[in-house]
Structure formats: structure tokens, C-alpha cells
Chain A
């Protein structure tokens, strides 16, 4: 069921609670913004008291964090407001501390908050994914048209993190004073936002002030949009962002999702028919052949010295022999039907 729709919510309306999970130490307080009811993944506003210290260590979940106010020390580095961190699961961070205290936004993406004392990374860590940046000082605002159709002029972004597999993004966005955009939008992905400063307005939910927050599941209407004095916020989407604009405030999430599907059919009819054709609905997710195809580096036992030169038969088709006599076969079984002889054209009805 993932996270419920939390919108609108303002963390200024609630009190900090002391963090009592082991490993975080005394002097850490939090306000829960939203939590995934299946995994415990969550977003929290966090306050470190002056003098707070946490030993070096890692989290079982990947997390993201941005400094809202004050100074955070990471090892010997002093990180000021606007500093953003993407920390992969298992990535051992040095000691973190705050001399005078600070306010942070923590987002645990794949599990509940955890802290395991360690000075080395977990063996499974994708250490190359770690990055941090002073997003206020070291990044420039870019036009907000990362998706097409796009937002109106006056909504700009700074991209902080991008997942090339899911197209999930984390970004700062701002609205200039007197920004407005007269349409209703929904997306095929969940969206999250925390207002670092300023107020924006949406027609369904009213004002979102400083400390305002939402976690919005996919296909839920939001907008028209406006900001009288401007705002700056941290936003996230959990997969590819596409703006479906319309002007019917009474459409439901199911109707919106159906519309997305209809638009997929209009935009990518061949893909649509392949994905939804009879006898080809996989009970598991569709396969991405790039993840499973044989590659040259895996070709143990084959001639790896000589490549195709027009004279040799070098078997650069890996182990996908379709000859029934071949000793190389697919070693998996399916309990559902496949019709591999099916062609695209047989499943596209005239006029559909």
C-alpha cells in the first residue's frame, strides 16, 4: 500500500519527538511527515540539538538529507543550509555532529531509519552512487521544463539526484513571486514536496506554507498553481515525471490512470499492444533484455580472441540457441502461457 496521501500537512503544527531508535543517540528529535506502511521508509523533519554527535556508521536503507537551517558537521566538513546528501544503503558516513544545532530534512527511501556503527562500508554498498552538494551555492537554477508538457515560466529547478533506472528525481524547485499556472495536473508517479521557505497555493488544498509538506500517490489531481511571494522547496518523484494536464477538477484517480493508459496507446501504440496483448501478460514484471542478455564478458569457453571476420563462426549470439537440438536452452520454466510466435500485427485490431 506504500505511503498514504498526506496533503496538505505542515510540520509547524506538530511538536518534535525524541528519536528513540538505537544508534541515533540523544539530542535527535523528529517530526514524521509520511511513512510507507509496508517498509517503514519515511520522511522526517529532524532537529539536532547543539552538541549532538553520532558515531560513524551506515543505514540499511538508502537515504537523502538536506540541511534546512544551521550547520551540520560531517567528519571535519561544515555543511550549511542547502547542503544535500544522497547516501546509498550500507554507505558508512563519518561522525556527524552539530555544534549549535541544526534543522534537517531526512528521507529514508527503502526502509525504516537505522544506524549501524561502522567505519567501513557494507559489502553490498553501491559506493559510487554517493554524492553531496551545496545546492544553494554550487548549483544554478535551470528552467523547469524537465518534463514535456512543462510547467509555466517562473518554476525553476536544481536537479539533486536522478535514478537512471526508474527516472526518479530529487530536486529543488522554486516559484518566482506572482507565479501562476492555470491547469490541473497529475502524474504516473508519486510526488513529494517539502517547503523550505515560502508559500504556494494549489486549488485543491489551499496554501502550502514554510514547513508545508505533501506525499501524493500517483494520479491525484493538483493545481491550478500560484505563489504570491515565491517559494523554494525540495521535491521528489519516485519514477518518471510526466505532466498530464487537464481542466476537470472532479476526475478521479482511476479516470486519470485510464486517461494515462489511453494516452500511452495514442503515443506508443505498438508498445501498448505488446504490453497488453492477450497471452502475453506476464505475472511478473516485463523483462528488460539488457539486464539478462548474454554478454561477451560472460562467454566462458568460447573463442574470445577472434571476432567475426566473415570466415569464422564465433558464436557471438551467446547462449540463446533456438535450435531445438541445442544443448543450450532456457533453464527457466513458466506457469503461464507465452505465444512466442505471436507477431505485433496479429494483435492490433483495425481502428484501435
Chain B
């Protein structure tokens, strides 16, 4: 979180410390559930991807606002065998498991 606004320094109480720890533990469990459910959605998502490709080939890809450009079939991306369909990234570019330049960590 980088809203970069004012925080007035103070000592966090032990009660607040415990509360934050508990919430973080629950958040870990929540994240694991989300990650699993998004992995389970992969077959449906694959169908959505192909429908998306069909639409941007015919109706067009939204370049800016309502400006659209049809994408030639030859320009559509290919999912290589080593590429996973991953949509949840725990800490984005800071995730330990984030592939660097497309390679698995």
C-alpha cells in the first residue's frame, strides 16, 4: 500500500498486535482458497480466452476508449507449453514464485 499519506507514529498495543496477526493468518487461508478456486476455473477461462480472441478479430480490440482495431489472426498470442494459465499472483512482481521473463522460478 503506497497511498503515501500521513501516519502518526505510535506504539501498537499488544492487543492490536495480536489482532493483526490473527487477521493476517485468516487472510493467508482466504488467499489459498481464492488461488485454488481460480485454478479450478482454468478450463472455463480457456473458453473465455478463445471467445475474446474471436471478438477482437471481428469486432476489434479496444485500443483507447471506443477506438477499436481488429487484430489479425496471425497476431494473436500463443500459449507455449511451459506457460501456466495463472491469474492470481500473491504479491505481483514481488511474489517469490513470479516467473522472471516468462520462465518458471
Query: Please, which residue of chain A has its CB at the minimum distance from the CB of B49?
Result: A249
C-alpha spacing A248/B60, complex, angstroms: 14
B63 at the interface (CB under 8 A from A): yes
A4 with B41: CB separation less than 8 A = no
Q: Provided the pairs A40-B20, A149-B63 are in contact, do residues A165 and B7 lie with their beta carbons within 8 angstroms?
A: no
B93 with A257: CB separation less than 8 A = yes
Chain B contributes a number of interface residues (CB within 8 A of A) equal to 63
A148 at the interface (CB under 8 A from B): yes
Q: Provided the pairs A182-B59, A205-B38, A255-B102 are in contact, do residues A151 and B65 lie with their beta carbons within 8 angstroms?
A: yes
A90 with B23: CB separation less than 8 A = no
Q: State how many angstroms separate the Cβ of A197 from the closest Cβ of chain B.
A: 22
C-alpha spacing A221/B38, complex, angstroms: 14
Contact with A32, one of B7, B23, B95 (Cβ below 8 angstroms): B23
Q: State how many angstroms separate the Cβ of A73 from the closest Cβ of chain B.
A: 26
Interface string of A172-201 (1 = CB under 8 A from B): 000000000111000001100000000000
Within 8 A of A (CB), among B30-77: 30-31, 34, 38, 41, 44-45, 48-49, 52-53, 55-56, 59-66, 68, 71, 76-77
C-alpha spacing A163/B1, complex, angstroms: 14
A204 with B87: CB separation less than 8 A = yes
Kindly list chain A residues whose C-beta atoms are within 8 Å of the C-beta of B9: 60
C-alpha spacing A149/B67, complex, angstroms: 10
Chain B positions near chain A (C-beta within 8 angstroms) = 1-10, 12-13, 15-16, 19-20, 23-24, 26-27, 30-31, 34, 38, 41, 44-45, 48-49, 52-53, 55-56, 59-66, 68, 71, 76-77, 79, 83, 85-95, 98-102
- Besides A36-B1, A217-B92, 7 other A-B contacts (C-beta < 8 A): A20-B15, A39-B1, A88-B6, A125-B6, A249-B77, A252-B98, A252-B99
In the complex, 24 of the A-B residue pairs with CB atoms within 8 angstroms, ordered by the A residue number, are: A2-B91, A4-B90, A5-B34, A5-B89, A5-B91, A21-B19, A32-B23, A35-B20, A37-B27, A42-B23, A90-B8, A109-B5, A111-B12, A112-B20, A182-B56, A190-B1, A190-B2, A190-B92, A217-B89, A217-B91, A217-B92, A218-B93, A252-B102, A253-B89
